Structure formats: structure tokens, C-alpha cells
Amino acid sequence: MNKKLIRIEGLVVLALGTYFYFSNGYNWAVFLLLLLLPDVFMIGYAVSKKTGAYLYNFAHTFVTPLLLLLVGLAFSVNFLIMIGLIWVVHIGMDRMMGYGLKYETGFKDTHIQRL
């Protein structure tokens, strides 16, 4: 039940983030180019499991992109809003597909399931 709830939540975040991105008239090419950018943080696994989990989780929690959105909205900085929305959509997409936050035991151990 919890897995399904997290996946549904991810779908809702993905849909709403995508809607808000395109309803603001932002560029679809930028959206496609940057959509997978947060996965670059997997590079931490080249150092160690602990570093990899820390960096991956940093890039896959909602705190940073929501802060970008808030600052962008508060100061009318479209670039920050655009990046924040793409980042939120990425996280929603990952959660919808069952990819969760990583444990230090290994890349396949997530808070949703074992991959």
C-alpha cells in the first residue's frame, strides 16, 4: 500500500510540475535537456556507498528545488522557477517509477523498495 501511495504521489507531482512549467511558457527543449540532470549526483557512488547515498539523496529530496521555486517566485526570477520546476518533475518521475531515496547499504536499497 505505501509503495502505491508514493508512486501515485510521484505521478501527481510529475503532472502538476509539468503543467506549471509549460503553462508559464517555458521552453520544452530546456525541459528535456535538464530533466535527467539530478541523476548526475549518482557520481558519488564512484567514491563510496555513503557518499553516493548522501549526494543522490541531496538531489532527490524536495527541499532544494522548493527553495529555488520560493526564491524565484519571491524575486520574479524565471530561471530559478524553471529549474525548480524541472527538478520537482524529476523527483516526481523517479518516485512514480519506484526509485526512492537511497540507503548507505547500496544503490538498490531505497525507501520505497529494493530495486
Q: What is the pLDDT of residues 2-52, one digit of tens each?
A: 888 989 999 999 999 999 999 999 999 999 999 999 999 999 999 999 999
C-alpha neighbours within 13 Å on the C-beta side of residue 112: 19
- pTM passes above 0.85: yes
**What are phi and psi for residue 41, nearest 5 degrees?**
-65, -5
Give long-range contacts, CB 8 A cutoff, 24+ apart: 64-67: 65/91
Q: Count the neighbouring beta carbons within 10 Å of the beta carbon of residue 41.
A: 16
Is the CB of residue 86 less than 8 Å from the CB of residue 21?
yes
Q: What is the pLDDT of residues 2-15, one digit of tens each?
A: 888 989 999 999 99
**Residue ranges of domains in the chain:** 2-108
Q: Count the neighbouring beta carbons within 10 Å of the beta carbon of residue 95.
A: 24
